[in-house]
Amino acid sequence: MKLNFSQKLVIARVALSFVLLVALNFIPVTGWAKLLCFVIPYLIAGYDVLLSSVKNIARGQVFDENFLMSLATIGAFVIGEYSEAIFVMLFYQIGELFQNIAVAKSRNAISSLMELCADTARVEKDGELIEMLPEEVEVGSIILIMPGERIPLDGIIIEGTSTVDTSALTGESLPAAVTVESSIFSGCINLEGVLKVKVTKPYEESTAARILALVEESAEKKATSERFITRFSKFYTPIVVVAAVLLAVLPPLLLKGEWTEWIHRSLLFLVVSCPCALVISVPLTYFAGMGGASKLGILVKGSSCLDTLSKVDTVIMDKTGTLTSGKFAVTGVYPKGISAYELTYYAAHAEAYSKHPLSKAVCEMYEGSIDYERINDVHEYAGKGVASNVCGKAVRVGNAEFVGGEPLSVTAVHVSIDDKYCGYIELSDAPRSTAKDMIAKIKKLGVKHTVMLTGDRREIAEPLSKDLAIDDVKSELLPEDKVREAERIISKAEGRVAYVGDGINDAPVLMRADVGIAMGAFGSDAAIEAADMVLMNDSIEQLPYALALSRKVRRIVIQNIVFALFVKGAVLITGAFGIATMWEAVFADVGVSVIAILNAMRALRKLNLD
């Protein structure tokens, strides 16, 4: 990746300071002249550290890593260890450079989300096009979107066809085809044709604006281990300074030791004790994890969500739209007294004007074209069905009670013609093609218990759960029943509980679960706002990747903490007894930090679950 100016400047300062240090070791200078000569490369390498330390002391923030580095290196100068002082500062700057590069790399992984919003919108008014800020465009306005432009606001296409790049929102590389009446979302890119779009949401409620708001909020949600390290360093640093002072003073006073030797050991103690490896690597690991998630099309609302997800052993899932596609399809036609073609002909014509999902499925199944001139006197009865006149015949299409048929254990549209029952059309909401594989993968990752909650009848829910190998199923649930069932499962679970859903009625359960996971950036606003994590491309197959990533991040955090504490502890003990040198101390600080940072960056790597 390209380095910015400040990173290049640090490299130049480190290189210049190192060259001067090497040169000074070949120049025969002594006394004050030698001190002044060595101060020059020291200041080149560490003036910013000294300045930050002074500023923080003035603000009352004394005990931080800048203070420890300043104290240790100035102390080394006092006892005549000029080269060591400069090398400590050089290695510290190298460690900070690695940190900055790592943070920039992690930030780049999610930076595309910060570029979702278009700068302007081209609004059609009185036959003219006016460029406006997206924030100023009113709902109902007509906007024009040219090929190659980013879509500024959510809306419905009223003219034109095109393909749309949704990768910034969903992570899905394949463009989506759109045409008249298709919904399009802000943040996507129009690739081909000119589109006229009717705005359906104000800017602040648009998809891009909502996602940006969620990304900005995520930084405030710190993981438990992150908060622990922050609190730990506040108490740890003052204790280290006091211990270093005691190590420098007590042995010479009580044991008649050499002052220079024990001061040297105390300075070594300060260098080793700097908590950089922990303070830097733990937040960086979570940040890299969030960057890695965004590459997979997963929006994580803060490191605390990743931390909690890593401990999940129970996953609850909604059925419709989550485990299934949410789109009904005809699976059988069962006529009575008429042909199958006649049954589908009259059903499709009677349902032609209805927007109900079952009606749309019946019309899509009919292979002929709808003759709207043969349809009149249409009446739709909410929750029951449609009555209309088709070719002069009174046709009723709907549930068994409305039509006069026998109730069935499957989802069906019943049909009667001139008050005579003529059969039914069976429909089903098929499971997603990836659902079964997803269940197998999350179980392999350590999920012990899977549950499906649904409002559908038991006769529909149980066969689906068996087919997908789901451990438990609760059916015929009202929204409030889902909340109660989720609370019951949460109270009994050994670990944490995640809930995956996509609808408005899922929002209360998403909030009650330890981790709420919403399906799709284009799902219900309520579900997305209530969730802790959003699977942006509306694909349930992302769930195993989210689980695997969270567990990987937690493993890296634990590895870094254990490694840093072990190395520092070993060097502290050996340094106190005069065994370890300043070079081991530098490695225990900067070396450990660099290794921890490189380990943290593994969270950005692509996961392979196959």
DSSP string of 109-120, one letter each residue: HHHGGGG-S-S-
| Neighbouring residues of 153: CB distance < 8 A, sequence distance ≥ 6 | 121, 134, 137, 143, 186, 197, 199, 201, 203, 206
CA distance 161 to 565: 60
Task: Examine the residue annotation and report whether 429 is marked as an active-site residue of this protein.
Answer: no
CA distance 397 to 399: 7
CA distance 607 to 66: 37
Nearest to 482, CA basis, from 506, 450, 449, 457: 506
CA distance 94 to 586: 11
CA distance 107 to 1: 12
CA distance 462 to 467: 9
Task: Name the catalytic one among 165, 318, 514, 589.
Answer: 318
Sheet harboring 420-431: ordered strands across? 324-335, 420-431, 412-417, 393-398, 385-390, 375-381
The backbone torsions φ and ψ at residue 52, rounded to the nearest 5 degrees and listed phi first, read: -65, -40
Report which residue type is found at 365.
M
How many DSSP H helices and E strands does the chain contain?
21, 22
CA distance 97 to 598: 12
CA distance 500 to 520: 11
CA distance 471 to 440: 11
CA distance 90 to 79: 19
Geometric angle at alpha carbon 265, from 264 and 267, rounded to 5°: 65
Nearest to 385, CA basis, from 371, 399, 372: 399
**What angle, 0 to 180 degrees and rounded to 10, lies between the N-to-C axes of helices 82-111 and 592-600?**
10
CA distance 351 to 388: 8
Nearest to 163, CA basis, from 126, 193, 123, 197: 193
Nearest to 551, CA basis, from 285, 219, 294: 285
Geometric angle at alpha carbon 404, from 398 and 408, rounded to 5°: 70
| 389, containing H or E segment | strand 385-390
Please report the sign of the dihedral spanned by the C-alpha atoms of residue 157, residue 162, residue 167, residue 172: positive
Q: Where in the sequence numbering do the catalytic residues fall?
A: 318
